[in-house]
Structure 1
Amino acid sequence: MPGARSREETRRTLRILRYLCCGRRPWSVGYDEFKRLRRVLRDRVVLGWFRAVDALPRGYSRRLDERVIEYPWLVARLGEGRSLLLDAGGALNHGFLLKSSALRRRTMVVCTLSNERPTAGTHASCVRADLRRAALKDEVFDEVVCISTLDHVGLDQTRVYLSDERWRESHPEDYTGAVRELRRVLKPGGRLFVTVPYLRYENLGWMQQFDAERLARIADVFAPASYTATFYRCCASGWQLSDAAECSTCAYFDIHTTRQYGEDYAAAARAVACLELVT
């Protein structure tokens, strides 16, 4: 109903105003509405920056979390087309993403540890499986997408996401098993898109940051025919294109353990590595 939509838009606007007036603190009221990922994924100029690996303008997505990098990077690199795609971890199971130019004509299977349901009105289906031993056929997917998921594999998911005690783990090297499985289910010539927080190494119990050694192990285990890595870093003036050396000294901000923001008001990862590997 038009009236209901109008009221919802008014509430959304008020939440954004509250976010802006109260200091633009990450994860506060209005944060998600202000982030406006739907708009970013429709912006051809923004997608062009990521497609060409251009420098981002000063102020880009200041005080926002790494999804403002990961999602447009993925949409830009995927391109438009029809294919069978595995969402390893469930980061794509959102209506605004599934209706984006890159995903709306792809058939997608979402694989997570939880009993997740596909977003209503979309072309996605869901399976519950552990990425380290997924019950999926060999060489079936054209693409696999794994957004900020490998950093959680083998670690304690009851701290933040799940209540099932089976997932109270401490096996930080198990991400390599997930990489092997993702390689197995890809067709020859298929593409794996991975993002991980790339920072000074730290194991937070429920997730870990990746460093040069762990990033290299992804490539070693996958053994790609081709491999590209792009790095982005968050600073006080916003997100910017960076390199591995600059990112390696950054630290993670964990909102689950503290509300004391740093001077840069980082929302989560202060740097991220975006990888494209081809079988």
Structure 2
Amino acid sequence: MHIDGALFKLKEMMDAIASPIYFLRGGPPWSIGYYTRKKSVIEGGIDGKAVQAGRPLPDGFGVAVDERVVEYPWLFDQLNRVDGSLGCVLDAGSSLNHDFILDRDPLRRADLTIMTLAPEKRCYWYKGYSYVFGDFRRTKFKDGAFDTIISISTLEHVGLDNTLLYTDDPEKAEANQNGFVDAIREFRRILAPGGRCLITVPYGNYENFGWFQVFDKEMVQLLIATFKPSSFELEFFRYDKAGWGRASEMEVANATAFDPHSGRGRLDDAAGCARAIACIQLIG
């Protein structure tokens, strides 16, 4: 394990030890102890199949936890609906690069390539996963290289300022609201015929936070139209003080987000970031 990976494990341990403080403070998102709470709820959501197609989420699910608490269980529900192998899989954005995600079937057996802008502090190459670094809008993969493409809460960063968290390359400090369109075209090119592309993005009233943006109806429509799928599924989820639940497109049209780095968009609902998400399955 790289020394940065060992340091990350140490931080995890310290966060777990601090969990009582987190709960005594009322469980505020992104405070010490939050990672441990978030990981626990995500694992419970995946293993307990909290997010299943056409079914409501459990009451009080994911209170004061950001959107990953829905996105990961949604993803595993989608993946487990496939009979047999996932084939060659691309994680476009490195959202799967966590041991508690990779150690679960069917990802544990997957032929998985993880792609992001720059190396991260932890990686699991020794478990057989491949890592590639670069821009999703201009990959070096051949046409139809992947049977499954997964992009969890990543497209909202493409074309914007990625120097805050993801890279120190000054050329990645962009301000292109439609940067995601080129990424979608590239996903379509490298997806095998009949393959699946699974995408989530924050959704609601359009807002640009500089390093990410909230997708609105027109942007999601553009995303789907650019991909030109043979078929697609579109689901919405929203957050309020009572937790996460399913929603109609109309119910989340004016949803907002909270930027944990600047504090912009903070309300008294303990939202971790997005207050609504769109989950999209596109078939090539």
**2:243 maps to 1:238:** yes
- Separation in structure 1 between the aligned mates of residue 123 and residue 32 of structure 2, nearest angstrom: 26
Could you tell me whether the CA contact under 8 Å between 1:86 and 1:144 is conserved in 2? yes
Q: CA RMSD in A?
A: 2.1
Equivalent position SS for 1:50: coil
Q: Which residue does the alignment assign to 1:172?
A: 177
The superposition leaves residues 230-272 of structure 1 with CA deviations (integer Å, 9 ceiling, x where unpaired) of 1000000000111111111111100111288411110100000
Q: Deviations over 1:211-243 (max 9, x none)?
A: 000000011001111100110000000001111
* SS at structure 2 position matched to 1:133: coil
1-structure distance, mates of 2:143, 2:69: 32
1:31 to 22, 29, 34: 34
Q: Which residue of 1 aligns with 2:63?
A: 62
> How does the TM-score come out when normalised to structure 1?
0.91
> Out of 14, 17, 20, which is 2:20 matched to?
17
How much does 1:41 deviate? 5.3
**Residue 112 of structure 1 corresponds to which residue in structure 2?**
116
* Segments of 4+ moved more than 3 angstroms: 7-14
Amino acid aligned to 1:26: P
Query: Where does structure 1 lack aligned partners over 5 or more consecutive residues?
Result: 1-6
CA contact (8 A) 1:38 1:97 kept: no
Q: Distance in 2 between matches of 1:39 and 1:251?
A: 26
Find 1:132's aligned residue among 124, 129, 137.
137
Query: Quick one: distance in 2 between partners of 1:246 and 1:216?
Result: 17
Distance 1:50 1:276 in 2: 15
Instruction: Report the alpha carbon displacement of residue 122 of structure 1 after superposing the two structures with TM.
Output: 2.1
Deviation at 1:14, TM superposition (A): 3.6
Q: Is the 8 A contact 1:114 1:128 kept in 2?
A: yes
Q: Would the aligned equivalents of 1:110 and 1:127 in 2 still touch at CA under 8 Å?
A: yes
CA displacement at 1:40 relative to structure 2: 2.2
Paired with 2:139 and 2:13, the residues of 1 have a C-alpha distance of: 44
Name the residue aligned to 2:194.
189
SS at 2:109 equivalent: coil
Distance (Å, rounded) in 2 between the aligned partners of 1:207 and 1:137: 29
Taking structure 2 as the reference length, the TM-score comes to 0.89
Q: Does 1:90 align with 2:106?
A: no
CA deviation profile, 1:178-234 (whole Å, cap 9, x unmatched): 000001111111000000000110111111110000000011001111100110000
1:189 is paired with a residue of what secondary structure? strand
Distance 2:257 2:171 in 1: 26
Residue 255 of structure 2: aligned partner: 250
The aligned counterpart of 2:6 is none
Structure 2 CA distance, aligned partners of 1:72 and 1:141?
Answer: 22
Shift of 1:15: 1.9
For 1:149, what is the secondary structure of its paired residue?
coil
Name the residue aligned to 1:78. Answer: 79
Asked whether 1:151 is paired with 2:152, we answer no
Aligned equivalent of 1:53 = 54
State how far apart, in whole Å, the 1-side matches of 2:69 and 2:251 are.
19
Query: Alignment partner of 2:130: what SS?
Result: strand
- With over 3 angstroms needed to count, the CA separation of the structure-2 counterparts of 1:27 and 1:186, relative to structure 1, is same
How many pairs align?
270
**Letter in structure 2 aligned against 1:85:** V
Matching of residues 193-272 of structure 1 within 5 Å: 193-258=198-263, 261-272=266-277
CA contact (8 A) 1:91 1:147 kept: yes
> Which residue of 2 is the match for residue 123 of structure 1?
128
Question: Partner residue of 1:101?
Answer: 105
Q: 1:9 to 1:213 in 2, by over 3 A?
A: closer
- 2: CA distance, partners of 1:75 / 1:122: 20
SS of equivalent to 1:255:
coil
Q: CA 1:139–1:37 in structure 2 vs 1: closer, same or farther (change >3 Å)? A: farther
Contact 2:45 2:69 in 1 (8 A): no
Which consecutive residues of structure 2, in runs of 5 or more, have no partner in the other structure? 1-9
